[in-house]
Amino acid sequence: MHKIFSYNKQNLQTIDQLNFDELQNENKVWIDIENPTSKEISWIQDTFNIDDNIFKQYLAGSKKSQIRILEKYTFTSIVNVKFKNLQTLTTQPIYMLLGENWLITVHSSEINIKEKIHQMFDNDKTIAESSIKILYYNILTKIIENYEQLLTAIEIALTDFEERSLYNYSIEVLRKLKDLSHQLIMLRRYFWKVREIFSFLIYQEQEIEAKENMKYLKILYNNVDELVHLIESYKDTINSIRELYIANVSLQMNDTVKTLTIFSAILLPLTFITSFYGMNGIDLNNFSNLPFGMILVSMTMVIILSILILFFRKKQWILRKKEIPTNSYENKANSKNGT
């Protein structure tokens, strides 16, 4: 399905058929095609002498952002990205063919360009008064705004993960962070390609000394460049959330070990007493008459305990001396000297 719009300084109107007179006078023509049929593709190719390879790329499902300067028009392909979930990014290409006073946009029906452009014409009358390039740049602007909304959704998801990492110690959090990290890598690749397109357009406008258009393009270039830097910051945020998650898991493990140690410390002396007095050869009714074997076992236990305590003290695991900082001596000396 296609729509043909003709506009000038006075109005924007929809026309049923394109007359070549529309391309000769002051009117600018914008043709928007959704899910093009083979008949519509043939009509566009014959009317505007479009290269066959361009529509072959579209029909093949190519989603590569690119720009090409041909003899009578400029071909631009840019990817519109939507954040479906943590595992899936929905990508749809938008093909744009820019001529001297005409513009053709080709895309799927999932992308609604007409409504946004009509709002732009209502809100900004300078679009109708300017060249067809301004409409082309404004469509690119709307795509960049979709990128910004996409990163806003990712930022909200990161905030949610940061809160969940404080209370939810499921491995599912790490898995979702990994998926989100992969999505950011894909987005960075898309944004890099779009930034290259704007860089090329700036260079082209510099060649023809179109200063007004160049200012407009530099703003778009800076916006995409900021989005690339935002992705880098989001990757750092993901790493910080991972570290926070691991730290919280370690704290929970330390609390668990602490609890088990307390129970062990309580039960250990009770276990020692029951095992010691439960040994064969001890008569609790005649405790003063201990057998020689019992005395030998007790002495062996004391010797082993002493050796372990000396060994642990040498390793400075227990009975560790506190080190006094050298500054304390200097402070005492200064206080005695009155300095």
* Beta-strand relationship, 74-85 and 88-98: antiparallel
Q: What is the pLDDT of residues 268-279, one digit of tens each?
A: 877 877 777 776
Residue 251: its pLDDT value, please?
82
What is the percent of the chain with per-residue pLDDT over 90, rounded to a whole number?
Answer: 1
Measured CA to CA, the distance from residue 43 to residue 23 in angstroms comes to 16
Least confident interval from 121-135, 161-175, 242-256: 161-175
Q: What is the pLDDT of residues 291-310, one digit of tens each?
A: 777 777 778 888 888 888 88
Q: What is the pLDDT of residues 50-109, one digit of tens each?
A: 888 888 888 887 888 888 888 888 899 998 888 777 667 788 889 999 988 888 888 888
Residue 18: its pLDDT value, please?
66
Measured CA to CA, the distance from residue 304 to residue 286 in angstroms comes to 27
CA distances from 310 to 148, 159, 318 (A): 66, 52, 9
Measured CA to CA, the distance from residue 291 to residue 314 in angstroms comes to 35
Integer-rounded Cα radius of gyration of the chain: 38
Q: Which amino acid is at 266?
A: I
Model confidence at 333: pLDDT above 50: no
Measured CA to CA, the distance from residue 205 to residue 216 in angstroms comes to 10
DSSP state of 17: S
Q: Which amino acid is at 57?
A: Q
Q: What is the pLDDT of residues 133-183, one digit of tens each?
A: 888 888 888 888 888 888 888 888 888 877 777 776 667 777 888 888 888
Measured CA to CA, the distance from residue 218 to residue 202 in angstroms comes to 7
Q: Where on the phi/psi map is residue 51: left (φ > 0), alpha (ψ -120 to 50), or beta? A: beta
**Which is more confidently placed, 79 or 117?**
79
